[in-house]
Amino acid sequence: MKYMNARDILPESLICQIQRYIQGGMLYIPNQAEQRAGWGSKSGSSAQLQRRNRQIHAMYQAGEDIHTLAQTFFLSTDSVRKIIQKERQRERAAG
């Protein structure tokens, strides 16, 4: 995210309107909906989590128990169960 001074880019009338709600603070203005990238798509975080979740599921299918997976991946057992359930659903949907 890049910091910009409102006075450099916005008309004075708009600045006055914004100042009714916030003065001297920082304001985040998101991209328009159609221009927004999905969470983690730019940083690669989403793809990394997908790979991790598929690895967890594959290890579970190979016989690894949930408690060991939780310790290995620093997750709660509930999180591991949810990942396994979602991966099963994803596989069924893929056919």
- pLDDT 10s digits, 65-84: 999 999 999 999 999 999 99
Cα separation of 65 and 87, whole Å? 16
**The residue count for the chain:** 95
Collect all residues with Cβ–Cβ distance below 8 Å to 48 and sequence separation of at least 6.
40
Single pTM value for the model = 0.60
Residues of the chain with pLDDT under 50: none
